[in-house]
Amino acid sequence: MTKELVMTKQNFPHPTVGALIFNPEEKMLLVRSHKFHDKYVVPGGHIEVGEKMTDALIREAKEETGLDVYDLEFIFFQEFIQDESFWKNMHFIFFDFACKTDSTDVILNDEAQSYVWVTMEEALTMNVDAYTINAINELIKKKNS
């Protein structure tokens, strides 16, 4: 059985933030999401009107994981144009950030079904969404330069 994309009318792309959250052991949080066909992704979501990207990242991390994040570092942005890897046919602009948390006690909302703490290298061997892989690879490149 194939999944059909939900069609969504859009006038403009949706700016969103993604949080590559690292715990004190330097492991990154990945959440498995039905919205990305049960692949692992990073927590994140829409930037609200009048909201700074960094404020949106802090808010979305808290809403989706219960975690407080700090030391935000911009990684890069990606365009996501009506890609079948998302459950809705939409156009997003992803602004990805690395950040830290002092906790490993994750409280998921209904957007994710499970989570794991892994190294970036371990993440690259898992069933991870391509856009998340792009962000991880870009962060690895930045750390190695």
Whichever domain contains 91, its CATH number is 3.90.79.10
Res 90 pLDDT > 90: no
* Residue 9 in domain: no
42 within domain boundaries:
yes
Q: Is residue 2 very low, low, confident or very high in pLDDT (cuts 50, 70, 90)? A: very low
Structural domain includes residue 52: yes
How confident is the model at residue 83, as a pLDDT? 55
Contacts of 18 by beta carbon, 8 Å cutoff, 6+ apart: 41, 42, 43, 44, 94, 95, 96, 97, 131, 132, 135
Residue 1 included in any domain: no
Residue 53 lies in a domain: yes
Closest C-alpha among 24, 26, 111 to residue 61:
111
- Per-residue pLDDT reduced to its tens digit, 96-122: 999 999 999 999 988 888 999 999 999
Predicted pLDDT at 142: 94
Q: What is the span of the domain harbouring residue 25?
A: 14-144
Tally the domains of the chain: 1
For residue 28, tell me if it sits in a domain.
Answer: yes
Is 7 within a domain?
A: no
- Reduced to 3 states, what is the DSSP secondary structure of residue 105? coil
Q: Which element (helix H / strand E) includes 6?
A: strand 6-7
Query: Residue 30 falls within a domain, yes or no?
Result: yes
Over 80: is that where the pLDDT of 48 sits?
A: yes
- Cα 140 to chain center, whole Å? 16
Query: Sorting pLDDT into bands at 50, 70 and 90, what band is 6?
Result: very low
Q: Is the pLDDT of residue 1 over 50?
A: no
Which residues, other chains included, contact 9 with Cβ-Cβ below 8 Å and sequence gap of 6+?
A: none
